[in-house]
Amino acid sequence: MRWIVAVLVVMVLATPAFARPVSVRGSTTKTGTYRAPHVRTSPNQTKADNWSAKGNVNPMTGKKGTKSWY
């Protein structure tokens, strides 16, 4: 059983940070605008894996990406 857990941990750590969901807390800006809590992709060095990029689909909403990333 322990080896199964170890293998799963290694698999998760070895997986690239490709469009992993990140929860963002709600907040209020300096101007008083409220931003509701939401989920976004994890930050990284590419725009190609953002859910809003063409060819990708937001797994939370099912909405297809429309923005060019190149």
Looking at residue 7, its pLDDT comes to 61
Structural contact between residues 40 and 24, judged by C-beta atoms closer than 8 angstroms? yes
- The residue among 66 and 17 whose pLDDT is bigger is 66
Secondary-structure breakdown of the chain: helix, strand, coil percentages, each rounded to the nearest 5:
20, 25, 60
What is the tens place of the pLDDT at every residue in 12-62? 554 444 567 789 999 999 999 999 998 887 777 777 777 788 888 887 788
Handedness of CA 44, 47, 51, 56 (dihedral sign): negative
Helical segments of 1-70, H only: 2-14
Looking at residue 11, its pLDDT comes to 56
Looking at residue 35, its pLDDT comes to 94
- Give the predicted TM-score (pTM) of the model: 0.46
